Amino acid sequence: MRVIGGLGEMVWAQWDELRHAAAVIGTVLCVSVRPRYWVRTVRRAFVRQVVAIGVESVGLVGGVAVFVGITVVVQLAFWVEEAGQSQMLGPLLVAVVARELSPVLIGIMVIVRSGSVMATELGIMKISGRVHVLEAQGISPFIYLVMPRVLGAAVSAFCLTILFVLVAFASGYLFGATVGTGSRDLPLFADTVSHAVHPRDVLAILSKSILPALFASASCCIGGLGVGASLTEVPQATQRALVRSVAGLFVISTAVSLLTYIG
């Protein structure tokens, strides 16, 4: 009974955290469409988040995308060669990279690289009293601290996912054409890719890149602002936020795949 009780408490705690994150995301989306909240300080904070999360990650994302594109071609080279249909390289890249790998890898990179920074930074601001200073100045901590981070993470994750797909496709095409696995006819490759992409793929990429980023950034903001008065709580809050974010990433990605491609 003690084990069942502990399991029940854990489930309810996770459910409360999920509801809290959903409330934060809903509030951010509702507030963000009102121009009066986009004052200069909020706009600058949003730009800083996009630069920190998105722009500064371009090099890392591009490098990983190159290796992923080449790796996928290497793994699929034997199968494609046996089939004798080099024009299948494009559709295979769409199925493996665009639909599944790119949103998950970008989500993990955003969570590990930027989610930990969000939680730690906000936790230190809460303990040092800077959050109360903002409130004393008449500045809403939610508008100035939470909204730019949540929206910045979502916009950056989507843009990085598109960049990842394009670079992975380009590297896969170049490597496949070099080793003879794929067609060297670029228009043919582009045509096979365009025919392999369906409207549901676009919807899936949008959902798998934006929704996990919204959830992860909201969870990290909640974790950072939820610390008490001790600095020792910051690493613990950051760790819990990262675990929730990674779990949410895989749950959301799986749910979107099931809803999009099954049934």
pLDDT tens string 26-76? 999 999 999 999 999 999 999 999 999 999 999 999 999 999 888 877 777
> 64-90 pLDDT, tens per residue?
999 988 887 777 766 655 444 556 777
pLDDT-derived band at 181 (thresholds 50, 70, 90) equals: low
Instruction: Compute the average pLDDT of residues 181-210.
Output: 81
Rounded Cα distance between 60 and 51, Å, is 14
**CA distances in angstroms from 62 to 58, 66, 115, 168, listed in the order given:** 6, 6, 20, 8
Closest CA to 49 of 162, 127, 157: 157
Name which of 41, 50, 4, 12 is nearest 159 in CA terms: 50
- Best CA proximity match to 39, nearest among 125, 139, 136: 139
Q: How far apart are the first and last CA of the chain?
A: 40
Q: Residue 83's pLDDT is what?
A: 47
Contacts of 163 (CB under 8 A, 6+ apart): 58, 61, 62, 65
- pLDDT band for position 109 (50/70/90)? very high
Structure tokens at 197: 């992409």
Q: Which helix H or strand E contains 44, and what residues bound it? A: helix 40-53
CA 92 remoteness from chain centre: 23
